[in-house]
Amino acid sequence: MTTSTTQSSAGSGAPEFRSGKASRRFLRNLVWVLVIGGLFLGGQGVRYYLNYMQLQAIRAQTEKLYHSVLGPDIGTSPFGRLQFEHGKLLASKRIGLDPLSVLSGLSLPAGEELRVDGVSLTGTTGRVRGYFSGDEAGFTQYMEKLSDDDRYFFSVYKVDQLGDGLSFILSVEPK
């Protein structure tokens, strides 16, 4: 009778369920899914790490640029400070030359022999009239010191030799 039941069940067409074989198939598929998922996550981790390192390099270079432009104390918002400085530069170009800073630029390298008689500024150019009580070599040294000014270009427009000094007219414009 046992032979007939196995034959009848085999002959009926319904497959026999084997739990051990199904468990091994499930574990094999689970291992493959975990390996593929692990490789995917590992690749994403490497990609994240490389992007993070690139971001750190960009931040370091940006910080270095901020320090080179703004000095050692860049503050909490260096980009905002850069915008502020840029706005100041644009405003000075629109307004023109600042008479006090031009006089400051003239007086820093000067000694007692310099006298400024008049300053006329129109927009971004200007003329300075004055008297230098030294000799021509002293005036040349004074002009060399003026060429070191960070804000303005000073150039000789006209020089007249007087008995005890030089009368001069200088042109000034921003750098």
CB contact set of 164 (below 8 Å; sequence gap of 6+): 133
Whole-model pTM?
0.47
Tell me which CATH homologous superfamily contains domain 97-174.
General secretion pathway protein M, EpsM (3.30.1360.100)
Integer Cα distance of 137 and 144 in angstroms: 11
- Do the bridges between strand 152-161 and strand 114-122 make them parallel or antiparallel, or are there none, so unpaired? unpaired
Kindly report the number of other CB atoms within 10 A of residue 114's CB atom.
19
First to last CA, the chain: 113
pLDDT bracket for residue 93 (50, 70, 90): low
Mean pLDDT of the chain: 85
- List where CATH 3.30.1360.100 sits in the chain: 97-174
List % helix, strand, coil for the chain (3-state, nearest 5). 55, 20, 20
Most confident of 7-21, 92-106, 110-124: 110-124
Find the mean pLDDT for residues 60-66: 90
Q: CA 92, 98, 99 angle in degrees (round to 5)?
A: 170
pLDDT tens for each residue of 102-151: 888 888 888 788 888 888 888 788 999 999 988 888 889 999 998 888 88
- Do the bridges between strand 166-174 and strand 125-132 make them parallel or antiparallel, or are there none, so unpaired? antiparallel
